[in-house]
Amino acid sequence: MVESGNLIFVSNIIILSGIRQLAKQTIWYGLSNIVGRFINYLLTPILTYIYDAEKFGEISILFATAAFLNIIFTYGMETSYFRFNQTENEKKVFNTGMSSLLITTILFSFVLIAFSQEMANFMQLSEHPEYVMWVVLIVAFDTMTVLPFSKLRHEGRPRKFALIKLATILVNVAAILFFLFYCKPSFEKGDTEFPGSWYNPSIGIGYVFIAQLLASALTLLFLFPEWKGFRWYFDKKLFSELLIYSAPLIVVGFGGMINETIDRFMLIHRFDGTVQQAKVANGIYSANYKLAVLIVIFIQTFRMGAEPFFFKHASNENARETYARIMNLFIIACCFCFLSVVLFLDLWKHFMGVNNHPEYLQGLMLVPILMLAKIFLGIYYNLSIWYKLTNRNTIGAIITVIGAVLTIVINYMLVPFLGYFACAIATVVCYGSMMLISYFMGQLHYPIPYHWKKGMGYILLAAILGMIHLLVRNSITSIYLLNAGAVGLFAVFAAVIINREKEELSQIPVLNRLFKKP
């Protein structure tokens, strides 16, 4: 019995050590993601203040195109790099992967720029094919940074990763402010020299993409030390193995982008109205979609640290229990993010430039639905580790294709009748279905003892508290009383979590100080 007790004690020490390690890395990746994304998010009220819903809709569809192209350009090489570093020499994997990305990026960029006018026509932007060219160049530069950034993550250097990400985000924001708030007003005053001469009204929303292009180019420059070790090397056998492993991930990534962005294209082509009305609907939907940013930031931050962590700890005896405990903490964090936005919508709505363009308020009812969908997506990302660890990426591709089909069918059928509300319905159905399918299939091939009853209970509690707030929101005229009630509901959820998860939370860096006994 003593020996058994010692084994359990050692087992718990190993699990907690792994969770602490992941938490520390997630905090650093969060520095770049949370701070950086929030700084970037501050561009939303700036852009929605300057541009009406129609123009913001054009910006959103161009960035949606960039998201699709990113999957094609990178073709799953990032995850393949992490996977094959476990069995092959890291330099060999990096050089082969980087050489292939260089070749394909040049090829893809040349072809897409040649057909930029046709792409602009499809997006109802026929007068501005240069927008498409700039988007292609942004994707090309970003592709060249994928493996250098992955190298930093693999080597456990989250500080440098965070600093570079933050620096380039600040460059992007500064460039937009320079063009739109310094050069533009000077031009409008009639100045013909700098800074007025640096603004051309015919470029319009193009300055948003010029700023991003500048930031992407500088990112590549900042990663020069990681490039210094690159040598042109192409191992055909290794490349074929990388490609075979990543092929299903391309489908997964492409399907994921369909789930994330196809609704923008559906609104443009299936909306029951004029092209201008469709662009307005697109802008309203995209602006409100931005309010789900807290959960999106957390999910992306978590994935930065979790993916290499899961691979490195897969051989540990207690890996599956560690994954289960991490999932529980992840769901709790997502619920806090959900309530932070839904309970305080009357504060967050001002991040959409509603004072200057009140039409954005029409889509506020979509935010809780979209945030619930993001929770399902985050859980799915956690669940997906089973098919990556067991080399069953094809199953992951099939699950994503099912989600993509649901997204396309629901949007295609309902957008003409429900407009952007159909997009929100499609999103929650898609991610909810993917989550359930992945869970049941994962338990067959790689069973993990997830605490599902507890996790679903937390999500249900968060949803009920959010619903209570939304039901009484219109009957309370005082913004102070409304926010006081929101704080109270938030405190109720926090009290429940602390009561049930005090021991677990006390193991997390930073949080552990709150639970120390006096």
| pLDDT tier for residue 472 given thresholds of 50, 70 and 90 | confident
Instruction: Summarize the confidence of residues 150-178 as an average pLDDT.
Output: 84
**For residue 139, what are the contacts with CB-CB under 8 A and spacing of at least 6?**
66, 69, 70, 73, 109
Q: What is the pLDDT of residue 120?
A: 93
Neighbours of 25 (CB within 10 A): 21
The three-state (H, E, C) secondary structure of 253-306, written as one string? HHHHHHHHHHHHHHHHHHCCCCHHHHHHHHHHHHHHHHHHHHHHHHHHHHHHHH
Range of the domain at 308: 2-515
Q: What is the pLDDT of residue 88?
A: 77
Least confident piece of the model among 154-163, 170-179, 503-512: 503-512
Q: What is the pLDDT of residue 168?
A: 87
The kind and range of the H/E element at 9 are helix 2-30
Residues in the chain: 518
Quick one: 107 exposed, middle or buried, by C-beta within 10 A (0-12, 13-18, 19+)? exposed
Give, in order, the Cα–Cα distances in Å from 126 to each of 53, 115, 122: 19, 12, 8
Which one, of 106, 127, 130, lies nearest residue 116 by Cα?
130
The two most distant CA atoms of the chain are separated, in Å, by 86
Quick one: 429 exposed, middle or buried, by C-beta within 10 A (0-12, 13-18, 19+)? middle
Q: Count of alpha carbons within 13 Å of 351, Cβ hemisphere only?
A: 22
**What one-character-per-residue DSSP string does 119-156 give?**
HHHHTT-TT-HHHHHHHHHHHHHHHHHHHHHHHHHHTT
Q: Is the pLDDT of residue 170 over 50?
A: yes
Neighbours of 27 (CB within 10 A): 17
Give, in order, the Cα–Cα distances in Å from 421 to each of 289, 435, 516: 12, 22, 47
Q: At what angle do helices 319-342 and 367-383 cross, to 10 degrees?
A: 170
Give, in order, the Cα–Cα distances in Å from 500 to each of 9, 43, 505: 21, 39, 10
pLDDT in tens, 122-158: 998 989 999 999 999 999 999 999 888 888 877 777 7
| pLDDT tier for residue 8 given thresholds of 50, 70 and 90 | very low
Residues 441 and 386: their CA atoms lie apart, in Å, by: 9
pLDDT in tens, 79-92: 788 778 777 777 88
Give, in order, the Cα–Cα distances in Å from 257 to each of 63, 152, 240: 11, 25, 25
| pLDDT tier for residue 15 given thresholds of 50, 70 and 90 | very low
Q: What is the pLDDT of residue 206?
A: 93
Instruction: Summarize the confidence of residues 328-356 as an average pLDDT.
Output: 86
Coil, strand or helix at 238: helix
| pLDDT tier for residue 338 given thresholds of 50, 70 and 90 | very high
Give, in order, the Cα–Cα distances in Å from 384 to each of 153, 325, 358, 438: 20, 16, 40, 7
| pLDDT tier for residue 423 given thresholds of 50, 70 and 90 | very high
Least confident piece of the model among 145-149, 164-168, 295-299: 295-299
Q: What is the pLDDT of residue 179?
A: 92
| pLDDT tier for residue 418 given thresholds of 50, 70 and 90 | very high
Q: What is the pLDDT of residue 169?
A: 85
Q: What is the pLDDT of residue 175?
A: 93
Which one, of 221, 90, 70, 208, lies nearest residue 136 by Cα?
70
Instruction: Summarize the confidence of residues 347-376 as an average pLDDT.
Output: 85
The three-state (H, E, C) secondary structure of 68-118, written as one string? HHHHHHHCCHHHHHHHHCCCCCHHHHHHHHHHHHHHHHHHHHHHHHHCHHH
Q: Is the pLDDT of residue 6 over 50?
A: no
Q: What is the pLDDT of residue 393?
A: 74
Quick one: 115 exposed, middle or buried, by C-beta within 10 A (0-12, 13-18, 19+)? middle
Q: What is the pLDDT of residue 10?
A: 44
The kind and range of the H/E element at 415 are helix 393-418
Residue position matching structure tokens 């770049």: 32
Instruction: Summarize the confidence of residues 281-290 as an average pLDDT.
Output: 89
What backbone torsions phi and psi does residue 125 show, to the nearest 5 degrees? -130, 45
Residues 421 and 363: their CA atoms lie apart, in Å, by: 8
Residues 395 and 444: their CA atoms lie apart, in Å, by: 12
Q: Is the pLDDT of residue 451 over 60?
A: yes
Overall domain count for the chain: 1
